[in-house]
């Protein structure tokens, strides 16, 4: 029985653990495809087209949007970013799942796209705002100004939690990962994700008739 691939969306405020969970999930299942975004920004040293991003000119990107070839897109600091539909549809046809590490706005667009019925969306929450602040500071990567900006933005991001199919409260990264894997395993077994199931059951009935 061939299983149809699904679209797994992970969203969270910065510091809640979304990217860590995404990396662990990719290590857990190497067949999982990570969605590579398209962007109009210039490649940085060491980046390769199709690996970190699909690098496009603005006219190329806008033409893809106009043709309906983007599942979601947005402009960030003067550059366009988006998720091309073609590679996702190819993975789905091959029975491979695609993982999206995106914000709530991108999640909304994908859930409103032509592939909406194949979406499984998960929002990751921190156990407390104090812990979220501690994790952001623990990275030792951002200035006080950047941390304050991320904390201010997190309130708006968290307000969209109820739009998602599942919510994981990341009190402990190992426990949160176990919950994520449980969700993915269950969603893969849904009846409507197994297009060969009807033929299989008809085969069972033919065995009954032949007895």
Evaluate if residue 18 carries a pLDDT over 60.
yes
Q: Considering the domain boundaries, does residue 208 fall inside one?
A: no
Q: How confident is the model at residue 84 (pLDDT cuts 50, 70, 90)?
A: very high
The span from the first CA to the last CA of the chain, in angstroms, equals 24
Q: How confident is the model at residue 1 (pLDDT cuts 50, 70, 90)?
A: low
Q: How confident is the model at residue 144 (pLDDT cuts 50, 70, 90)?
A: confident
Span 18-26, average pLDDT = 94
Q: Considering the domain boundaries, does residue 162 fall inside one?
A: yes
Span 129-147, average pLDDT = 86
Handedness of CA 126, 176, 134, 157 (dihedral sign): negative
Question: Can you give the CATH number for the domain in which 47 is found?
Answer: 3.40.50.300
Check residue 143 and give its pLDDT. 83
Evaluate if residue 77 carries a pLDDT over 80.
no
Among residues of the chain, what percentage have pLDDT more than 90?
77
The domain in which residue 69 lies consists of 7-189
Q: How confident is the model at residue 180 (pLDDT cuts 50, 70, 90)?
A: very high
Evaluate if residue 146 carries a pLDDT over 90.
no
Domain tally for the chain? Answer: 1
Q: Considering the domain boundaries, does residue 56 fall inside one?
A: yes
Q: Which residue has the higher pLDDT, 34 or 139?
A: 34
Sheet holding 33-34, edge to edge: 33-34, 98-101, 7-11, 119-125, 166-169
Residue in the block written with tokens 């904390």:
151
């Amino acid at each position: 029985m061939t299983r149809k691939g699904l679209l797994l969306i992970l969203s969270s405020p910065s510091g809640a653990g979304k990217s860590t969970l995404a990396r662990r999930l990719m290590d857990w299942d190497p067949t999982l495809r990570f969605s590579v975004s398209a962007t109009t920004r210039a490649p940085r040293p060491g980046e390769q087209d199709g690996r970190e991003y699909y690098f496009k000119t603005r006219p190329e990107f806008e033409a893809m949007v106009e043709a309906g070839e983007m599942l979601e897109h947005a402009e960030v600091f003067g550059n366009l970013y988006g998720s091309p539909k073609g590679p996702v549809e190819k993975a789905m046809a091959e029975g491979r799942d695609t993982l999206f590490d995106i914000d709530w706005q991108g999640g909304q667009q994908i859930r409103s796209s032509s592939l909406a019925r194949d979406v499984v969306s998960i929002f990751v929450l921190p156990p407390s705002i104090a812990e979220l602040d501690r994790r952001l500071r623990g990275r030792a990567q951002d200035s006080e100004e950047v941390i304050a900006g991320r904390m201010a933005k997190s309130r708006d991001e968290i307000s969209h939690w109820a739009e998602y199919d599942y919510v994981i409260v990341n009190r402990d990264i190992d426990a949160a990962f176990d919950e994520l894997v449980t969700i993915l395993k269950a969603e893969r077994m849904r009846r409507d994700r197994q297009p060969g199931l009807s033929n299989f059951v008809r085969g069972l009935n033919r065995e009954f008739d032949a007895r």
